[in-house]
Amino acid sequence: MTITVLPLDTPGLGDRTYIAHDGEVALVVDPQRDYDRVLGIAEAAGVRITHVFESHIHNDYVTGGLELAREVGAQYLLNADDQVSFERTGVSDGDIVEVGARMRVRVLLTPGHTHTHLSFALEADGESVAVFTGGSLLYGSTGRPDLLGPDHTQTLAHAQWHSAQRLAAELPDETAVYPTHGFGSFCSATQSGGTASTIGQEKLANPALTTDESRYVEDLLAGLDAYPAYYAHMGAANSAGPGEADLSLPTEADPAELRRRIEAGEWVVDLRNRTAFAAGHVGGTVNFGLDGQFVTYLAWLMPWGTPVTLLGETAEDVAEAQRELVRVGIDRPAAMATGTVEDWSGGAPLRAYRTAPFADLAAEFTAGRSPLVLDVRRNQERAERHIAGSLHIPIHEVLERLDEVPAGPVWVHCAGGYRAGVVAALLDAHGIDVVAIDDSFDNAGPAGLYLTTDAIKQEIPA
């Protein structure tokens, strides 16, 4: 009987949970808050969960590990040196954990993402099967070392290199690598398109294994960019022992209540896609569509603790959004509304704004007009190439820098359209005239727009 490793993706946060089983018993690594998904996988496989492993105190989501272990009566294992407020099984470097009759887990201390980060090497019948690397060795990258603050970054960056080297030295090349981060998560130092790998493959391509320590650290630190502000709340929640998530739907709000909440400064979030929102929406609402990194950007931009109301065309849309919110500790929406935008407005006039491709922006310049272009991408994206003369305010800084944005019209762009849609909605809610560019930035140059780079410091045709 073979060992089966089942990944469970959480695309909105760019993370994976893993369930490994031998057909009878199972272990789980780094489960998300909504662990009912894990239970469903275990039930479908006909296996019993006996151990839940946590690679580190997570900074990008609230764990479901403690409650999952309690519900199924499993051991909950994390680093014995982690300071937590609940009962758990503390493990340390070199410990061996027997899982059922066939699986054996060796605990490896791999600091770098955090000081107490652990990886878990899985063996079956004496052979190396896999290593669950959490935020240590990722596909073509490593976890970022700066989430604990600048006083720790240098130390953790060097530790991350040594941890990757240790994994490569101690594990056979054929060992499958299963990281928690690296699928769009801001916990990854750099993004990777990989979906599977082995120790041997990482030896050929991972910078932590192909460059010397000083070069790796230099490149790693130079490549770091901003990460979501809500991360500041995740570590504390995980150390305190998060409780079970309540996924029951909130109460329905009528148009009058929605208007009261908007006028009180609460966030009323329209979950439709950016095209539908631009075509017509309730004034004062904001747009974080379920078709993108909804929870990452909503939790990042919304002042922590602000009441949030969800507007979805169906109850299923609201339930999907609520599931994503509990993963980052936003447990109970204040209210919800379903149906059409006309249902939400109660007959009041709707607001709308234009969407356009980069070709339309180029036509504005060709016609001799000088449109204000707002680039809301991250600093590193901007440095590589940007529209000459554009204003740059990264998406996460827009609300605190509103006084830098003129009344409009403002043409807002990002790399693909999602972030531009989010910012356009925010600016519209503050009375600014906007045009949302819903297009790939790859089309900006071919459309005839002049691009420049921070390195060149001059306008050049694309």
Distance in angstroms (rounded) separating the CA atoms of residues 406 and 157: 41
Beta carbons within 8 Å of 66's beta carbon, 6+ residues apart:
76, 86, 88, 241, 242
Asked if the domains 255-345 and 354-461 are classified in one and the same CATH topology, the answer is yes
Please tell me whether residue 221 adopts helix, strand or coil conformation.
helix
Topology, domain 354-461: Oxidized Rhodanese; domain 1 (3.40.250)
The upper half-sphere exposure of residue 225, i.e. CA atoms within 13 Å in the direction of its Cβ, equals: 16
pLDDT given at position 221: 96
| CATH number for the segment(s) 4-240 | 3.60.15.10
Kindly report, residue by residue over 349-405, the tens digit of the pLDDT.
Answer: 999 999 999 999 999 999 999 999 999 999 999 999 999 999 999 999 999 999 999
**Among 315, 310, 320, CA closest to 286:** 310
Rounded to two decimals, the pTM is 0.94
Domain residue spans in the chain?
4-240, 255-345, 354-461
Topology, domain 255-345: Oxidized Rhodanese; domain 1 (3.40.250)
- The CA-atom distances, in angstroms, between 224 and each of 181, 221, 375, 384 are 15, 5, 19, 14
Using alpha carbons only, how large is the chain's radius of gyration in Å? 24
Task: List residues bridging with 17 in a β-sheet.
Answer: 8
Crossing angle for the helix pair 294-301 and 418-429, to the nearest 10 degrees: 40
Crossing angle for the helix pair 36-45 and 65-72, to the nearest 10 degrees: 40
Distance in angstroms (rounded) separating the CA atoms of residues 235 and 228: 13
Beta carbons within 8 Å of 155's beta carbon, 6+ residues apart:
none
Instruction: Please report which residue ranges of 302-439 form alpha helices under DSSP H.
Output: 315-326, 341-345, 358-366, 379-384, 418-429
Look up residue 39 and give its two tokens: 């239970």
Q: What are phi and psi of 323, to 5 degrees?
A: -60, -40
Q: Which residue has the tokens 């054996």?
A: 104
Look up residue 61 and give its two tokens: 């989501």
**Among 223, 327, 232, CA closest to 15:** 327
pLDDT given at position 461: 36
Q: Is 312 exposed, middle or buried (0-12, 13-18, 19+ CB in 10 A)?
A: buried
pLDDT given at position 184: 87
pLDDT given at position 1: 57
Amino acid identity, position 261: R
Q: Which residue has the tokens 């043409």?
A: 411
8 A C-beta contact, residue 105 and residue 88: no
Amino acid identity, position 3: I
Please tell me whether residue 25 adopts helix, strand or coil conformation.
strand
Which segments in the chain show pLDDT lower than 50?
456-462
Beta carbons within 8 Å of 407's beta carbon, 6+ residues apart:
431, 432, 433
Amino acid identity, position 4: T
Distance in angstroms (rounded) separating the CA atoms of residues 449 and 387: 7
Torsion angle, alpha carbons of 385, 390, 396, 402, to 10: 170
